Structure 1
Amino acid sequence: MADVVLFGVGQFAEVARFYLEWEGSHNIVAHTVNREYLTTGEKGNLPIVAWEDLEQEYPPGQVSLFCPLSYRGMNSHRQEIFEEGLRRGYDFISFIHPKAEYYGTPVGRNCMILESNVIQPHVEIGDNCILWSGNHIGHHTRIESHCFLASHVVVSGSVTIGERSFLGVNATIRDNVELGKAVVVGAGALVTKSLEDFTVVPGPKSAASKLKSHQLKGI
């Protein structure tokens, strides 16, 4: 059983902690947050340590990290913490829910894949991806690093999802489509053709927006 420090104290961290403690293969020993957000020393009977000082109490080699942050900043905040943790010598765990249908295809570090995900054979999932519950990932699909898929996304076969992309609830991506990096597909949208980097598809029956994803305020 590996000892784990969990990055964050918000709702995403609470959900991740519940699943890890319920599943039981990892031992959470502490939370960590950036010093500017450290307002208390404890979360649910576990210590909270400043991220900047983590090595002093939980050095690399003694603990692994898990960073289940949201898609804020087009997943860039989660990417920054993940990459900094690697530079500082830490390893990251991944969590695949026992009730996900998964056939041992490659999944990277710091991924969280929740219940009722169907991941068909020959799928590849990069580092630092979050797949919330109930998604269907078709065969021979590649999900590149730092992506976030909300619930009930349908990805058909032979799809490429570029790094830092966000797919909203009930989005559907047809087969043989390539999404560039940092693409936003809104809730309920249907994507039938490949999309360039930073494209935004706001929702059902929507053409691609003239805005680019890095110009969005709420994601």
Structure 2
Amino acid sequence: MKVIIFGVGDLAKQLYHYLGKEEEYRVEYFCINKEFFSDGKFLGKEVITFEDSLESLSTKEYKFLLGIGYKNLRMRKRIFEMIKGKGFNFINYISPNAKVYGDIRGEGNIILPNVIIEPFSIINDNNIIWSNSTICHDSVIGNHNFIAANSIVGGFSEVRENNFLGFNTTIKDNIIVGKEVLIGASSLVVKSPENYSTYYGIPAKKMSEHFETGIEIV
């Protein structure tokens, strides 16, 4: 399968490495917005621009994977929707070392080594689930979320849209993490947090709000 990775940063480089180990995929291009174009090559592959190149590419022949990381989750969502708007679909990259017993219903998901997706859980679109994380039974991961390494989402919980779970986050069972919630590293979430808010601690407590800016990691 011919794949285009959107982005030329650290995550794009890692995805290129992972996909290079899989016989199923062949990375043909990297892609960026025209305003950020500066070099025609990245890791030896041609870099194309979204604005000038996609019209000549077949939506049946090529699929995308989004190599834009967690620093601006609203931007990740916009780019995903922009590419879908051009008629392209996304692959799901699922590490062969991940254990997936739940239902990957969406596309554009990145599931890294030693992730466990337990039975009766659901994964929707454009999520990054980093190494050694566990998505427990009967839970739902919505769209455009970033779940950092060693995190746990408890059973019957939901992580809905554009949320960031830092390293070693634990979400107790029957919790709803709604929209644009940032959970700091090593936090324990024992009750459902408010949208557009930042939480830290054991148990996690609200520290600030970010309705205007969204989640921005510097």
For 2:171 and 2:24, locate their aligned partners in 1 and report how far apart those are by CA, in whole Å. 34
Q: Contact (CA 8 Å) 1:153, 1:170: kept in 2 or not?
A: yes
- Per-residue deviation, 1:35: 1.0
Residue aligning to 2:14:
15
Q: Residues 145-164 of structure 1 correspond to what in structure 2 (within 5 A)? A: 145-164=143-162
Q: Contact (CA 8 Å) 2:134, 2:151: kept in 1 or not?
A: yes
For 1:109 and 1:213, locate their aligned partners in 2 and report how far apart those are by CA, in whole Å. 27
Residue aligning to 2:34:
35
TM-score in terms of structure 1 length: 0.93
Q: Contact (CA 8 Å) 1:68, 1:112: kept in 2 or not?
A: no
For 1:214 and 1:111, locate their aligned partners in 2 and report how far apart those are by CA, in whole Å. 26
Q: How many residues of Structure 1 are paired with residues of Structure 2 in the alignment?
A: 217
How big is each residue's C-alpha offset from its partner over 1:108-167, in whole Å with a ceiling of 9 and x where there is no partner? Answer: 111100001011001111100000111011100001100000000011111011200110
Q: Which runs of 5+ in 1 are unaligned?
A: none
**What is the RMSD of the two structures over their aligned residues, measured on CA atoms?**
1.6
The structure with the largest strand share of the pair is: 2
For 1:204 and 1:192, locate their aligned partners in 2 and report how far apart those are by CA, in whole Å. 9
How big is each residue's C-alpha offset from its partner over 1:177-200, in whole Å with a ceiling of 9 and x where there is no partner? Answer: 111111111101000011221121
Structure 2 residue identity aligned to 1:27? R
Which residue of the other structure, out of 94, 97, 107, is the alignment partner of 1:96? Answer: 94
How big is each residue's C-alpha offset from its partner over 1:45-101, in whole Å with a ceiling of 9 and x where there is no partner? Answer: 21100111122442322211111311222x111111110111111111110001101
1:133 aligns with 2:131: yes
Structure 1 residue identity aligned to 2:168? N
For 1:170 and 1:124, locate their aligned partners in 2 and report how far apart those are by CA, in whole Å. 21
Residue aligning to 1:165:
163
Structure 2 residue identity aligned to 1:85? I
- Per-residue deviation, 1:176: 0.7
Structure 2 residue identity aligned to 1:40? D
For 1:214 and 1:153, locate their aligned partners in 2 and report how far apart those are by CA, in whole Å. 27
Q: Secondary structure at the match of 2:3?
A: strand
For 1:81 and 1:176, locate their aligned partners in 2 and report how far apart those are by CA, in whole Å. 31
Percentage of identical aligned residues = 30
Q: Which runs of 5+ in 2 are unaligned?
A: none
1:54 aligns with 2:49: no
Structure 2 residue identity aligned to 1:105? D
Q: Contact (CA 8 Å) 2:199, 2:208: kept in 1 or not?
A: no
1:71 aligns with 2:50: no
For 1:111 and 1:206, locate their aligned partners in 2 and report how far apart those are by CA, in whole Å. 27
TM-score in terms of structure 2 length: 0.93
